[in-house]
Amino acid sequence: MLKTLASYITFDLLALEHGSRLGAALEFFIYDTIKIFLLLFVIIFVISVIRSYFPPEKTRRILSHKKEFRGNILAALLGIVTPFCSCSAVPLFIGFVEAGIPLGVTFSFLISSPMVNEVAVVLLWGMFGWKIAAIYLGTGLFVAVLAGLIIGKLKLEKWVEEYVYTFHSGSSHEIMKQAFKERLEHAKWNTVDILKRVWLFVVLAIGIGGFIHGYVPQDFLTHYAGNENPFAVPIAVAVGVPLYSNAAGVIPIVYALMEKGLSTGTVLAFMMAVTALSLPEMIILRKVLKLPLLAVFVGIMAITITAVGYLFNAIL
């Protein structure tokens, strides 16, 4: 049905010639745009409703008596459904420590939250198919669990700023109740708000797919980061770590890299490095973590992401 609509707009409304290159590109562009925006709308809405049931206070309560490993897995999963603005990383971190949640489990949460993001997953799904989206989701969770476990095992509690441990917020925070209708209302509002912020990136990404397709010289990047180069993955991660963008912003770049023939593992590793680690987040986390712990965190993330990249290049 969407296909019919796209071809109607292209060939009837705009009266482009059948079989022309521009017509085909435009038809593809219109079809993909409608499809991806429909997906985005539905998924963001559903996730927003689910999120309204998992405020950080509740997540903290769920995690407070969990041991490592099970706790790490749960924390990574909760990272997806707990709404969380990067600016609340500090109160959240302190609150988690105060509730006795192990350091590694707290990290699993902090890692999965920005990386495994509904907009990223939907865009990957719409543009590269559900398999790539599922792989990203799965590996994102895996990286969050693994990095959290390693940090936990290293016993780095001494590198958390002392004041975090002596902190007493005093009151247990109550969770605000919401009627179901109110949750839907909120979710709708939030969906529109997110779409307003990301639509340009999405259109850009689809545009790259539709129009630049086939016109980009392939040699340059594939020469340096293509399949033959054994260092492709670490190079992609090294480039990705200092870069920062939200998941939507990185998708046009991801599309372009895929087009240029970079292998899937390399591109996914790049995307994870961009979304999971960012300078603004480091600056915020520096308020609760001493420099060595911050460095260990970045190091472990870079290594884990690189490993995942190699793994996928090997099996895909």
Q: What 8-state DSSP symbol labels residue 230?
A: T
CB of 63 to other proteins, least distance (A): 12
What are the two backbone dihedrals, phi and then psi, of residue 289, each rounded to the nearest 5 degrees? -115, 140
45-84: contacts with other proteins (CB under 8 A): 48, 55-57, 60, 83-84
Return the number of the residue (6 or 47) whose C-beta is nearest other proteins: 47
183-222: contacts with other proteins (CB under 8 A): 186, 189-190, 193
Q: What is the C-alpha radius of gyration for the chain, rounded to an integer number of angstroms?
A: 21
Q: Which two tokens mark 115? A: 């990386």
CB 237 within 8 A of CB 306: yes
Q: How much helix, strand and coil, in percent to the nearest 5, is found in the chain?
A: 75, 0, 25
**CA–CA dist 201, 207 (Å, integer):** 10
How many other C-beta atoms are found inside a 10 Å radius of the C-beta of residue 312?
A: 21
Return the number of the residue (122 or 133) whose C-beta is nearest other proteins: 122
Closest C-alpha to 202, from 24, 13, 19, 35: 35
Return the number of the residue (95 or 234) whose C-beta is nearest other proteins: 95
Closest C-alpha to 119, from 50, 194, 53, 28: 194
Candidate list 171, 180, 196, 315; residue touching other proteins; CB under 8 A: 171
Size of the residue set binding other proteins (CB under 8 A): 29
174 binds other proteins (CB under 8 A): yes
Return the number of the residue (114 or 234) whose C-beta is nearest other proteins: 114
Compute the half-sphere exposure of residue 130: CA atoms within 13 Å on the CB side of its CA.
1
92 binds other proteins (CB under 8 A): yes
155 binds other proteins (CB under 8 A): no
95 binds other proteins (CB under 8 A): yes
Return the number of the residue (91 or 138) whose C-beta is nearest other proteins: 91
86 binds other proteins (CB under 8 A): yes
Positions touching other proteins (CB under 8 A) are: 48, 55-57, 60, 83-88, 90-92, 94-95, 167, 169-171, 173-174, 176, 186, 189-190, 193, 284, 287
